[in-house]
Amino acid sequence: MALSRVCWARAAVWGSAVTPGHFVTRRLQIGRSGLAWGGPRSSKLHLSPKTDVKNLMSYVVTKTKAINGKYHRFLGRHFPRFYVLYTIFTKGFRMLWADAKKARRIKTDMWNHNMEFHQLPYREMEHLRQFRQDVNKCLFLGIISTPPFANYLVFLLMYLFPRQLLIRHFWTPKQQIDFLDIYHAFRKQSHPEIISYLEKVIPLISDAGLRWRLTDLCTKIQRGSHPAICDILALRECFSNHPLGMKQLQAFHVKALSRAMLLTPYLPPPLLRRRLKTHITVIHQLDQALAKLGIGQLTAEEVKSACYLRGLNSTHIGEDRCRTWLGEWLRISCSLK
């Protein structure tokens, strides 16, 4: 032991390159690498498990997109008509899902801020109104597909009757124009009935001046001329009391008005009257919100949709004329209670 210490002292003084023994080598390894008695560790870096999972998911997503693209090209090449239907349904479900998420967000904001429907901005009000209409149509489709094995029949019915069973997201561009023309033709069929009823109740109006104004208005409409805003606003008192008040209208007149608003007329008169009043109230609230926003802030598609909801067939009318007509409508609507 003393001899080894002397040797180590001489090596430190003279710089001797004395090779330590086996015992010293092991002690040096312990001092450098702890209890690891094996060889030195490799300097190669290893990825964490999270990085491996991300790389795997990225690979799977890339391969899935590539396979999906090949599948789409195969359908488009060999089954073009089926591919068109497949594309429309795929995009339709995506749009419907996006509408549902947006409607849920609007509802959540209403709940958090304690807001009512009429307090929302115009676009959010219109989105909720349209989404409710779409959901009602989808609910009917879900009800008829409830019985066992009825879903196969439902797919056939959707293909044969897309206008009656499907919402606008699942229509082709040509179908959207054709179906809107068909719906507007249904509205036009009710216009003569409404004018005829107005002519019948003219003698029941007590004010002679109002009787003359209403007769002149009906005559202008039947001749095809567009009435002025002042002519319409001058008759506001006729529609707040007997015989043209909402509560005093006859059942067949309420049905004609419901068809003009694209509402089903096949309901009991009390429910029909209530639904018509609710629908008109919603449109009036939309008008007030649109007046705050300004027609100039709407896109061309929003302007045409707003005009069609209020009774104008905007599918074949230019954007400028639609904006003019919508501005006249707002002047009348915002002047009424």
Whether the pLDDT of residue 274 is over 70: the answer is: yes
Biggest CA-to-CA distance, the chain: 138
The rounded distance, in Å, linking the Cα atoms of 35 and 94 is 60
Q: Of 46 and 108, which is predicted with more confidence?
A: 108
Whether the pLDDT of residue 4 is over 80: the answer is: no
Give pLDDT, residue 216: 92
Give pLDDT, residue 217: 92
The rounded distance, in Å, linking the Cα atoms of 74 and 83 is 9
Whether the pLDDT of residue 165 is over 80: the answer is: yes
Whether the pLDDT of residue 56 is over 70: the answer is: yes
Give pLDDT, residue 245: 87
The rounded distance, in Å, linking the Cα atoms of 63 and 90 is 20
Give pLDDT, residue 113: 93
Task: pLDDT band for 75, please (50, 70, 90 cuts).
Answer: low
Give pLDDT, residue 50: 66
Q: What is the pLDDT of residues 87-116, one digit of tens each?
A: 888 888 999 999 999 999 999 999 999 999
Contact 237, 210 (CB under 8 A): yes
What mean pLDDT comes out for the span 257-283? 93
Smallest CA-to-CA distance from 113 within 327, 246, 145, 121 is with: 121
The rounded distance, in Å, linking the Cα atoms of 73 and 83 is 9
What mean pLDDT comes out for the span 53-73? 76
Task: pLDDT band for 7, please (50, 70, 90 cuts).
Answer: very low
CA-based radius of gyration for the chain: 38
Whether the pLDDT of residue 160 is over 50: the answer is: yes
When the pLDDT of each residue in the chain is averaged and rounded to a whole number, the result is 83
DSSP of 227-281, one letter per residue? PPHHHHHTTGGGGTSTTTSGGG--HHHHHHHHHHTT----S-HHHHHHHHHHHHH
Length of the chain: 337
Whether the pLDDT of residue 123 is over 90: the answer is: yes
Contact 132, 167 (CB under 8 A): no
Whether the pLDDT of residue 183 is over 70: the answer is: yes
Q: Of 334 and 28, which is predicted with more confidence?
A: 334
Q: Of 39 and 173, which is predicted with more confidence?
A: 173
Query: Could you state, in order of their start, the residue ranges of all structural domains in the chain?
Result: 69-170, 173-335
Contact 254, 276 (CB under 8 A): yes
What mean pLDDT comes out for the span 29-42? 45
Whether the pLDDT of residue 48 is over 90: the answer is: no
Give pLDDT, residue 34: 44
Q: What is the pLDDT of residues 301-325, one digit of tens each?
A: 999 999 999 999 999 999 999 999 9
Q: Of 85 and 91, which is predicted with more confidence?
A: 91
Whether the pLDDT of residue 138 is over 50: the answer is: yes
